[in-house]
Every structure is written in C-alpha cells, then in structure tokens.
A and B are shown apart, each in its own frame.
Chain A
Amino acid sequence: MSDDVPLRRAAPQGFLPIHTNAFDRVFVSVVCFVAIHLFWMRFLEQDISLYVATVLSVILGAIIIARG
C-alpha cells in the first residue's frame, strides 16, 4: 500500500474538482494547452500573437501541476 502514497499529494485536495495524482495533472494541463491554442487560433490570433497563448498555457499548466 505504501507504494502508492508518494504519488498522491500530501494535501488531500487541490483546486480541481477531483482527486488527482501527478499524471492526471499533467494530462489536464496538456488538454488545456491544446484547447487554448485551438481557440486562440480561431478567435484571437488576428489581433494577438499565438506565442501569448503559449506563454499563458504554460503558466496555467504550471499552476495546475503544482496545485491542482
């Protein structure tokens, strides 16, 4: 049983609505990364460069991985 513990965060809950482990959070941030880029290309890229989206989603990803 102890094998499993390090993967679960010591703090029982992050801000995500479900209990997550590291894999889940990486997954969620990748999903967000792709989604942000797709929406950005569709609606915002005419005005704002796509790199902004990249920076934003990396920051968001970092937050999710750290605190999700």
Chain B
Amino acid sequence: MKRDRKGLSLLFWLFSSLITLFPIYWMFVVSAKSRVELFGAPTFLIKSFFSENYWATLTNTSFQGYMFNSIVIATSNALLVTTLSLFATYALSRYKLSGKENIFFWTITNRMAPPAAFLLPLFLLYTQVFVVGDWKMFDTRIGLILLYCVFNLPFAIWTMRGVVDAIPQELDEAAFVDGASTWQVILHVILPLARPGLAVTGILTWVFAWNEYLFAATLTSVHARTITTGLAEFVTVTGTNWGQMAATAMLTLIPAIIFLSLVQKHIVAGLTFGAVKG
C-alpha cells in the first residue's frame, strides 16, 4: 500500500515536471537549431547541436557586461528590498503607528501602476533631475536598483507582513526584558524566525528584478543594460534571431538556478519552525 502511493506520487511528479519543463525544453531545442531548421516541421528531438548560438552570446563582450549588470542589480535589489521590508514590517507589526493600515495599503498601490505612462516622468527624473555635474542617474546600476524597489517593496512588505505578524510578540518582549536592544531583537529573534519568509521574498524579488524589461530598456543605454533588454536586441526588422535569443535565455537560467539553490534551503529550514513556537 505505502509503496504504491510512493510510486504513484513519483509518477505524478514526473508527469507534472514534464509539463513544467516542456516550454523550457522547447527553448533549448530552439537554441540548438540553426535558423533554417526552425522553419520546417517541428521535431522533438535534437538531431544536431548548433553551438554557434551559444558561442555567439558567450564570446560577445557586451553580453558578458549585461549579464554582470543583471546579477549586480538583481542581487543588490533583493538584498535592499528584503532588508527594508523586514524593517518596515517590523515597524508595522510592533509599533502603534498612526494610520498604519493606510500606509500599508498605500505602499501596496505602488505596484499597481501600469508602467508605460510612468516611463516618461522617470526618464525626465533620471536625465534632468537626478544629475550631479556630469553624472546622471540615467544608465546607472544604482538607478535601476532603487527604481526596482517601487514594485518590489510593496510585494515584499505584503509577504513579510504575515510572517512578522505571526512571530509571537512574547518572544521579543522576553528579549527586551533580558536587556536586548531593538537591533538585537531584530537580528537575533525576528530574523531567524522569519527566515523562510525572507528566503521566499528574496527569491521572488530577485526574480522580478532579474526579469524586468520596460524600465531597464528605457532607463539604461550602454553601461547598465541588463540581460533582458539584451534579449530584445534579437528582435529586429531583418529577422528575429530566435536561436541565439533562446540560447541567451538558457544561459540566463544558470545564475538564476544558482541563486535559487543558495536561497531555497532556507525555506526548508522553516519546517522545524512550528516546534519553536509550540
């Protein structure tokens, strides 16, 4: 009986993985084909590997730069956002701030704006307002890192709020009684307990920042361009270079998977969490 269920569950996971992986597999198939092979009857198997798609991206120095920018921007943004959101939700949860429900709701609304129309004011801000001497915020990494907070902070605050609220107040009260400072409480009481939530928030904010297209495309030019805007370079009037685009997309998966595996184990850490509380 038990063995049967195990087999069944394995079968289920294999099947659902197949569905999940198919589009990614197809991306891989496309990345391994030359352009002329794409326009013919589709085949599921790869007959030959057209490695030029990969080499073209790997040896292209501007793409190396884009990849580096993406990693720096996404990681800094994720760190910044998780830290700020932990502070913010701690404040929302533990302090009696006047009108805090309204502030909370207002922070969330920042994510709702359709981005297209907001690009113009941001472009003006970045090129004409945030200017110090020769330095403009336009086409800088810090510009994107801060901007991504606008849609990532609301998300992070919302997710983290439930997590921080769920941590029993008695725990930090007890720490305060023991003479701990607010910093110490956050660092030694809240942070360990909020780890699963923080990990998920970190992953998702990282992903949102990593994948963002419209802002990055408009507010960067050469120096701070990210890999997603690089992907759009393959769509041209003389032909979308599907193969190289897919190959580049496959390559962007590698840092993402590394980051994911680094952070994901913290989610599992939460499994013992119930015991702490009980």
What residues of chain A have their CB less than 8 Å away from a CB belonging to chain B?
Answer: 1, 3-4, 7, 21-24, 27
Least Cβ–Cβ distance between B194 and chain A, in angstroms: 25
A1, B102: Cβ atoms closer than 8 Å: no
Q: Are A7 and B98 in contact (CB under 8 A)?
A: yes
Query: Which residues from chain A contact B99 at a C-beta distance below 8 Å?
Result: 7, 21-23
Interfacial chain B residues near A3, Cβ < 8 Å? 96, 98
B96 contacts across to A, CB distance below 8 A: 1, 3-4
B102 near A4: Cβ-Cβ < 8 Å: no
* Other A-B pairs, 11, CB within 8 Å; known A1-B96, A4-B98, A27-B102: A3-B96, A3-B98, A4-B96, A7-B98, A7-B99, A21-B99, A21-B101, A21-B102, A22-B99, A23-B99, A23-B102
Instruction: List 15 A-B residue pairs with CB atoms under 8 Å apart, sorted by A's residue number.
Output: A1-B96, A3-B96, A3-B98, A4-B96, A4-B98, A7-B98, A7-B99, A21-B99, A21-B101, A21-B102, A22-B99, A23-B99, A23-B102, A24-B102, A27-B102
Q: B60 CB to closest chain A CB, in angstroms? A: 49
Question: Nearest CB to that of A3 among chain B residues?
Answer: B96
In the complex, per-residue mask of B87-114: 1 if CB is within 8 Å of any chain A CB, else 0? 0000000001011011000000000000
The prevalent SS among residues of A at the interface is: helix
Residues of B within 8 A of A (CB): 96, 98-99, 101-102
CB distance from A8 to the nearest CB of B (A): 10
User: Given the complex, which residues of A lie within 8 Å of B102, measured CB to CB?
Assistant: 21, 23-24, 27
Q: Which residues of A contact B98 (CB under 8 A)?
A: 3-4, 7
Q: Which residues of B are found within 8 Å of A27, using beta-carbon distances?
A: 102
Task: Name A21's closest neighbour in chain B (CB-CB).
Answer: B99
Docked pose: A40 CA to B23 CA in angstroms: 48
- Tell me the minimal C-beta distance from A24 to chain B in angstroms: 7
Q: Which residue of B lies closest to A2 (CB)?
A: B96
Distance A1 CA – B94 CA, assembled complex (angstroms)? 11
Nearest residue, chain A, Cβ from B103: A23
**Closest CB of chain B to A4's CB: distance in Å?**
5
Cα A1 to Cα B98 in complex, Å, equals 10
In the bound assembly, the distance between CA atoms of A23 and B101 in angstroms comes to: 9
A57 CB, nearest partner CB in chain B, Å: 21
How many angstroms between the C-alpha atoms of A23 and B98 in the bound complex? 10
